[in-house]
Structure 1
Amino acid sequence: MITPFTGDRIVLNDLGFYGYHGLFNEEERLGQRFFIDLQCGVDLSAPGSTDEIGHTVSYADIYDVVKATFEAKRTKLIEALAQNICAALFEAFSDINWVIVRVRKPEAPIAMVRGEAAIELHRVRSD
């Protein structure tokens, strides 16, 4: 059994999207930037040995699932957005054993001069 959140992983960081997620009418109407950092637990020993794309999960395909999920449904909470991304990745890729996803919202509607609001979910595939 693979211990969650350890071992091999595919990493995609700083994926930028423009979307309309949020609680407030202005967020729905005007939209804003979001950034997503992602780690997917996948055994990479076969592709490391064979150098064959067919033995791994393509990070381009992972990106496509994240993008489609981000754009598919508006959520009020970035927690729900992150959960939708985790569920979509588990559904699309049976080789992904666990996911860590961080959703960052640099223009969150709070009075900060610099920084960003973010959440991070850690999810393990349920059998």
Structure 2
Amino acid sequence: MDKVKLNGMMFYGYHGLYPEENKLGQRFTVDLELMLDLSEAGRRDQMGDSIDYGQAYEVAQSVVEGKAYNLVETVAETLAEEMFKSFSVLQAIKVTVDKPGPPIPGYYQSVAIEIERERPHELS
């Protein structure tokens, strides 16, 4: 399947289980793979046959910088749901939400959640 990819989008959010995370917030990095048929876009050269990158960025920004969630899993799931609502041509999505330096013991670069979803039948 064809893909529109948005890589390394950075947002500041307040997601986490600990009060400090909800108060101080932190940076989150998001990658999206938006899967759809791009053959018409390639032939017709019309934006309506694809997904507007700027609009996809704005949807992601509104989720990550919006309501605070306890779990990064919820951020990823909400991102997928909002993308399907926003883009009728979207058939499937892969969402990666990376949380650099979460407040847990150990040495590592980050933790991340990656989900893959297909368009729900009720949104078809």
Tell me if both proteins adopt one fold, taking TM over 0.5 as the criterion.
yes
What is the CA–CA distance in structure 2 between the aligned matches of 1:28 and 1:85, rounded to whole Å?
A: 19
1:19 match: 13
Q: What value does the CA root-mean-square deviation take over the aligned residues?
A: 1.1
Opposite residue 90 of structure 2, the aligned amino acid is I
Answer yes or no: is the 8 Å Cα contact 1:37–1:103 preserved in 2. Answer: yes
- SS at 2:32's partner residue? strand
1:4 match: none
Deviation string, structure 1 residues 78-115 (Cα, Å, up to 9, x no partner)? 00011001000111111101110010001211234341
What is the CA–CA distance in structure 1 between the aligned matches of 2:100 and 2:92, rounded to whole Å?
A: 26
Residue ranges of structure 1 left out of the alignment (5+ in a row): 1-6
Answer yes or no: is the 8 Å Cα contact 1:34–1:104 preserved in 2. Answer: yes
Equivalence map 1:1-127=2 (5 Å): 7-127=1-121
What is the CA–CA distance in structure 1 between the aligned matches of 2:50 and 2:31, rounded to whole Å?
A: 20
| Shift, 1:46, TM fit | 0.8
Answer yes or no: is the 8 Å Cα contact 2:12–2:64 preserved in 1. Answer: no
What is the CA–CA distance in structure 2 between the aligned matches of 1:112 and 1:67, rounded to whole Å?
A: 29
| TM-score, length basis structure 1 | 0.90
| TM-score, length basis structure 2 | 0.92
Residue ranges of structure 2 left out of the alignment (5+ in a row): none
Opposite residue 59 of structure 1, the aligned amino acid is Y
- SS at 2:105's partner residue? coil
